[in-house]
Structure 1
């Protein structure tokens, strides 16, 4: 399960500003993944382990909690190297979350239809009809988010017939109240 902890940490780091909004959203999603030393709790309706294929699949209202970070989805496939009998000692190579993926930590959220985490390349791709990143009242919307979890480089793409949308509320990204208050 060390890999799932890494997933949450990396997913959290993945939610970073992109494109023209980079300076405004600087550190906006920094809170994700700060609970590396916390235990991981996974709940699902079913767990199926296919040791020959090296895949563990959690299905049915899957909830992964580590500290203040929560991942919710309908299906989580964990691809690992080693044997299931090694317990937490096997290495996680890839994770696939599908069925309305929701990641939250404090006032920060990321949602999409699917999310893939490749541990070898340290890349995360979240896709969906709408991929929504938010912190409090601030929102960024596209349909494909690709993040290099090592560098923090992120790319949010718009649907073929649409545009990336950003909503930033004045004074919402700093702790300083607006002038006159």
Structure 2
């Protein structure tokens, strides 16, 4: 089990990333760089880890905290889906490198980086398509004093395009709300 955890941790460090920002920040920057920054190590803490090599998944549960540099992901449960095998290695005895294809964060999800915070009930990170979807009764993005609220957030990490809507069913419909403080988004170089 220790070797599986070590191989999995190494693959996380190589395949996952919570990148720092080098450009003017936007609301979508809280998610920017997932899967693109291999320079900083990743630390994952959780109460439990269950590796399901047959299903090609690893399940972290119990107050999961993922950090890299200034970025942090918190959730009650994190499921990491990967390709490759964590068992035994290749014919030369070398561990097989996994590629993380998808992350599913469940329960009180919080993503933060510098002065940006995004919260929701659940989040899905599709590493291959570079798309993040965060959902919940209340999905909130904030940067300093600026706040935007909806129910479903979709971010294309390649283009930086973000869509937030408030669609719901029945009486659970609403509107997207935004509060911007004057001059708060100016680039401070």
With normalisation by structure 2, the TM-score equals 0.77
* 2:109 corresponds to which of 101, 105, 112: 101
Cα deviation per residue 1:86-143 (whole Å; 9 max; x = unaligned)? 5682000111000110011111100110000112222110000011000010001010
Q: Is 1:27 matched up with 2:49?
A: no
Partner SS state of residue 163, structure 1: coil
Give the conservation status (yes or no) of the 8 Å contact 1:48–1:57.
yes
Distance 1:155 1:52 in 2: 35
Distance 1:98 1:31 in 2: 17
Distance change >3 Å, CA 53–CA 135, structure 1 → 2: same
* 2:162 corresponds to which of 130, 150, 154: 154
Please list, as runs of the form range in 1=range in 2, the aligned pairs for 1:1-181 lying within 5 A after superposition.
1=12, 2-5=14-17, 8-9=18-19, 27-29=25-27, 30=29, 33=32, 36=37, 37-85=39-87, 89-160=97-168, 161-174=173-186
Aligned length: 160
Give the conservation status (yes or no) of the 8 Å contact 1:63–1:71.
yes
Instruction: Spell out structure 1 runs of 4+ moving beyond 3 A.
Output: 29-35, 85-88
Unaligned runs of 5+ in 1: 14-25, 177-181
With normalisation by structure 1, the TM-score equals 0.80
**RMSD, aligned α-carbons:** 2.3
Per mean C-alpha deviation after superposition, the further-off stretch among 35-44 and 118-127 is 35-44
